[in-house]
Amino acid sequence: MNISVIGAGYVGLTTTACLAHIGHHLFCAESDAEKLDKLQAGVMPLFEPHLESVIRGVRKAGLLTFGSTEEAIDRSDAIFICVGTPPLTNGDADLSDIEGVARAIAKRASGYRLVIEKSTVPVQTGARLRRHLSVHGTSRLKYDVASNPEFLREGSSVKDFLHPDRIVVGVDSTRAESLLGQIYEPIVKQRFTCPIHSECPRRKNPVFLATDTNSAELIKHASNSFLAMKISFINMVANLCEVVGADVTEVAKGMGLDPRIGSAFLNPGIGFGGFCFPKDVQAFIRIAEKSGCDFSLLREVEKINQGRIGWFIEKLRSEVWVLRGKKIAVWGLAFKPNTDDVRFAPSIEIVKALLAEGAEVRAYDPQAIDKAKAVLPNITYCDDAYQAAKGAEAVVLLTEWEEFRKVDWCRLARLVERPLIIDGRNALSAQVVAANGFHYIGIGRASAAPQLTQSLVASVCE
Ligand SMILES: NC(=O)c1ccc[n+]([C@@H]2O[C@H](COP(=O)([O-])OP(=O)(O)OC[C@H]3O[C@@H](n4cnc5c(N)ncnc54)[C@H](O)[C@@H]3O)[C@@H](O)[C@H]2O)c1
């Protein structure tokens, strides 16, 4: 099938690459000229595991073209809208890019178009899109509007797209449902050559859930808000654990063994971030407010999350005392591992708080430095975790990249001013860190004192 995708960000590029990989002909539009030039030249504008190789493969097979929004509207009957929906200052989702695309389709298209909102949007946006197309569209335009919320996670987007748990479509006609069924058939039946695994660990057929458009839109916001709630919940449990002397890792393990609860999203830390949870929780609160429903539960989720930054700084301050003039090594800037995305990352807020206190920040992230430079121009960026730790009073781990678990502790011990690790993600083993002469402080669990003095570490490491 000929399919267009509008918006070549994390969601749009993954959708494009994966739909082309399963055999469709894709046209992907991007309005940012620099990004489009890069894509047309075969250069990735973002980091996402496996995405580059899938895109290279489908372009070689002649299944993918990049170009303008106008061409995307002309080329295909099915158009996925994957543009951003960032938060406005009042918490509402900014739908101006969605409206811009709808206007372009209305003005330009003739014949049938299935307009699919994949961007995360407030409930009733589909209805608005329909109204917009009917008011502004030419008499030659025939259309259906469908919702197809996306559940992929940055860092594993290709895997998540090709091996999802469920595909949700919100439709109001059998034609729209049938077209979406055809588009996703290879994924629903798991019939494609997997570009990631030679033997896929998960070849379970996903559920294809067709609902009305309003319900599909709500499924996305409700799912993200629920997951955010789980994170804030375990963060409060972690705080309690610290006070009463319990271990949140054990508590989370015990809770997660109950299938009604599940173990996912029970990892305490510095809070949730990224381009989904913070803005989706805000937008969901606003939708509820405007609908006259009191969803103050989610306000609390948000408040707990916002409080994680000051709480973490306090943890650091209680160890280091005065932060002014102290070198602090920051390990990780991306909002999660395996992505270069720093949008709404708690690490960025923590670095800003450190700078406000007069600390000297030396930061390292395996992928996110370029994007971080745009929002944090005045810190020292380092080439690796060791360079960042040079002369540091404390190393703070803010993103749980795998490479931080594999550091050479002896080498590190020789570089730091004080062997102190504050692990904002509970990513490290307290025992291993302490055995290597570092003072370990995690989240919601006992800290571990160094088992060797620094001079002993130096002699052991010789
Ligand atoms: N990032 C995620 O993990 C994720 C997961 C699920 C859903 N979502 C949702 O998907 C949507 C997109 O998220 P993203 O992270 O891919 O955003 P993004 O900012 O990375 O990408 C959006 C892209 O759309 C482009 N664009 C805007 N208007 C355009 C137009 N008129 N024509 C062509 N291109 C246009 C922008 O230049 C940008 O490159 C959001 O609503 C988000 O909430 C994101």
Q: C-alpha angle 399/403/404, rounded to 5°?
A: 55
Q: Give the residue numbers marked as catalytic.
A: 276
| Type of residue found at 111 | G
Is the predicted pLDDT of residue 408 greater than 70, yes or no? Answer: yes
Distance CA 300, CA 115 (A): 36
Q: How many Cα atoms are found within 13 Å in the side-chain-facing hemisphere of 155? A: 19
Nearest to 315 by CA among 253, 409, 388, 238: 238
Residues 363, 330 contacting (CB under 8 angstroms) = yes
Distance CA 363, CA 381 (A): 5
The answer, yes or no, to whether any atom of ligand 1 lies below 6 A from the CB of 340, is no
82 C-alpha vs ligand 1 centroid, how far in Å? 5
59 C-alpha vs ligand 1 centroid, how far in Å? 21
Q: What is the predicted pLDDT for the residue at 275?
A: 93
| Mutate-to-test residue for ligand 1 from 82, 166, 221, 224, highest number of ligand atoms within 8 A of CB | 82
The answer, yes or no, to whether any atom of ligand 1 lies below 6 A from the CB of 275, is yes
**pLDDT tens profile 276-299:** 999 999 999 999 999 999 999 999
* pLDDT-based confidence at residue 201 (cuts at 50, 70, 90): low
Distance CA 140, CA 152 (A): 35
Q: Which ligand 1 atom is nearest residue 6's CA? A: 33
**pTM for the whole structure:** 0.95
Task: Tell the residue nearest (CA) to atom 15 of ligand 1.
Answer: 10
275 C-alpha vs ligand 1 centroid, how far in Å? 9
Q: What is the predicted pLDDT for the residue at 462?
A: 63
Task: Tell the residue nearest (CA) to atom 25 of ligand 1.
Answer: 7
Nearest to 124 by CA among 215, 57, 194, 47: 215
* pLDDT-based confidence at residue 451 (cuts at 50, 70, 90): confident
42 C-alpha vs ligand 1 centroid, how far in Å? 19
| Mutate-to-test residue for ligand 1 from 5, 6, 10, 107, highest number of ligand atoms within 8 A of CB | 10
The answer, yes or no, to whether any atom of ligand 1 lies below 6 A from the CB of 154, is yes
Is the predicted pLDDT of residue 198 greater than 90, yes or no? Answer: no
230 C-alpha vs ligand 1 centroid, how far in Å? 25
User: Tokens representing 290?
Assistant: 């405007």
Q: Which ligand 1 atom is nearest residue 151's CA? A: 6
419 C-alpha vs ligand 1 centroid, how far in Å? 41
- Report the percentage of the chain scoring pLDDT > 70: 96
CA of 251: how far to CAs of 39, 244, 278, in Å?
46, 13, 25
Q: Helix or strand or coil: residue 225?
A: helix
The answer, yes or no, to whether any atom of ligand 1 lies below 6 A from the CB of 8, is yes
Contacts of 7 (CB under 8 A, 6+ apart): 29, 30, 31, 81, 82, 83, 84, 97, 101, 119
Average pLDDT, the chain: 96
Q: What is the predicted pLDDT for the residue at 461?
A: 67
The answer, yes or no, to whether any atom of ligand 1 lies below 6 A from the CB of 344, is no
User: Which residue's structure tokens are 């997660």?
Assistant: 256
Average pLDDT over residues 344-354: 98
Average pLDDT over residues 28-43: 98
| Type of residue found at 287 | I
Encode 190-202: b = buried (16+ Cβ within 10 Å), e = exposed: eeeebbeeeeeee
The answer, yes or no, to whether any atom of ligand 1 lies below 6 A from the CB of 35, is yes
**pLDDT tens profile 115-170:** 999 999 999 999 999 999 999 998 899 999 999 999 999 999 999 999 999 999 99
Q: What is the predicted pLDDT for the residue at 139?
A: 86
The answer, yes or no, to whether any atom of ligand 1 lies below 6 A from the CB of 48, is no
Beta bridge partners of 329: 362, 395
Task: Tell the residue nearest (CA) to atom 7 of ligand 1.
Answer: 150
Distance CA 391, CA 211 (A): 57
Q: Name the H helices within 168-295.
A: 174-188, 213-244, 248-256, 277-290
Enter the DSSP assignment of 267.
-
The answer, yes or no, to whether any atom of ligand 1 lies below 6 A from the CB of 91, is no
**pLDDT tens profile 100-120:** 999 999 999 999 999 999 999
| Type of residue found at 25 | H
6 C-alpha vs ligand 1 centroid, how far in Å? 9
The answer, yes or no, to whether any atom of ligand 1 lies below 6 A from the CB of 150, is yes
Give the CA radius of gyration of the chain. Answer: 24
Q: Name the H helices within 41-79.
A: 51-60, 69-75
Q: Helix or strand or coil: residue 268?
A: coil
Burial of 328 (0-12, 13-18, 19+ CB in 10 A): buried
85 C-alpha vs ligand 1 centroid, how far in Å? 7
- Report the percentage of the chain scoring pLDDT > 90: 94
Average pLDDT over residues 320-346: 97
Task: Tell the residue nearest (CA) to atom 30 of ligand 1.
Answer: 31
How many CB atoms neighbour CB 324 within 10 A?
9
The answer, yes or no, to whether any atom of ligand 1 lies below 6 A from the CB of 95, is no
* pLDDT-based confidence at residue 213 (cuts at 50, 70, 90): very high
